[in-house]
Copies of this chain bind each other. A is one copy, B any other.
Amino acid sequence: MSTWRLECGACGEEATRHKATVCAHCHKPLLARYDLASLDGAALKKAWSTRRGSMWRFREIMPVESDEDPITLGEGETPLLAIQVEGDAADLELLVKDEGQNPTGSFKDRGLGAAVTRAALEGATEFVAPSAGNAGAALAAYAARAGLPARLFIPEDTPDGVARRCEHYGATITRVDGLIDECGRLSAEYAEQTGAFNLSTLKEPYRIEGKKTMMLEIVEALDWEPPDAIVYPTGGGTGLIGSWKTLEELRELGLITRSTRMYSVQGTGCAPIVRAWERGTDHAEKWEDAETEAWGLRVPGALGDFLILDALRQSGGGAVAVPDAAMREGAARLGSAGIGASIEGGATLAGAGALRRSGALKAGERVVLFNTAHLLTY
């Protein structure tokens, strides 16, 4: 069984579940809250260990009721690979969560799998979102799996390959003479005009719920001992927010006691979270003239900025910016360990090195890096 309510991540106001978007009061992201006190943690742990096939094996703390079927492409169950590297991170115990092994080649499958599942169950008949990359392909694939149409607004300068991937899954593409925020505006407008459901990042509560399964898998793979730290390549930050939420839920279920420090890594050319972290503010100002090769990190203003900063602070973590050249070098190092790393994945290794240099990460600590997308998606 699974049942939950929604509350605003900022003001705490309750929201109704039906086709939920953002807080009606303050327009901030909503979070799903499960009745964890009614669940038996030990029984869950056992049940989860016997299931196979997708992220939905954690369904008791995911947004489906017990009689509902999720829409799945077998997302999740990605490996956690131990690696050894030379350089600054050499004396860390490094593990890479290889999210490139998801259905469309990135971690976006978890978030959009959950969001599409819930929206379809709530009666959505069409989906819309802005995208310049992997989120578009993931949305297209899950919409197809749901048997529902998807429309994507993508910036004119998006590589042809990205559009072709989305079209393979049957999505309708509208190329926009503008940046991703203009695509976001058009998506919202389209949703309003047509009744299509808008799946923009954090404009609905369930992408977080899908992304949080990454951390569930990590903690389970480590025999319910959370790692010392994670280094997360932070664009919209849904996965980081989800990871922290997972740890809180597992603590409440009595399945873990210790916690994990969360570190954000961003590019030096687009580091709004790092700047806010360093200034000690609760919110991140929009980054002007964002510039980095890592598409997934080119997010000048994240709607969940305050949730990201809160997770970094509460967990005792931090944030660090690395230049594109260091990301590329990181990706090459991961490649030499056999991992099909995207530049975002490379950023986490570069970030781990920088955090080790600064002393934030200590020798011998167990640190999880996220290869959020496959090399092939570039």
- Name A's B-contacting residues (CB within 8 A): 49-50, 52-54, 72-74, 77-81, 98, 100-105, 141-142, 144-145, 165, 168-170, 221, 331-332, 335-341, 374-377
Contacts and interface: CB of A to CB of B under 8 A. Distances in A.
A344 B73 CA distance: 19
Contact of A335 (B81, B169, B375): B169
Given A74-B81, A103-B338, A144-B338, 17 more contacts: A49-B50, A52-B52, A52-B221, A54-B79, A73-B339, A74-B101, A101-B102, A103-B339, A103-B340, A141-B338, A144-B336, A145-B337, A165-B375, A168-B341, A168-B375, A170-B335, A374-B376
Given A98-B73, A103-B98, A104-B340, A168 B377 contact: no
B142 A335 contact: no
Contacts of A169: 335-336, 338, 340
B374 A337 contact: no
Interface of A: prevailing SS: mixed
- A72, A101, A105, A141 interface centre (most CB from chain B within 10 Å): A101
A105 B144 contact: no
Q: Which 3 A-B pairs have the closest CB atoms?
A: A74-B79, A145-B338, A376-B376
Contacts of A336: 144, 169-170
Nearest to A161: B376
A340 B144 contact: no
Nearest to A146: B338
A144 B376 contact: no
A78 B78 CA distance: 10
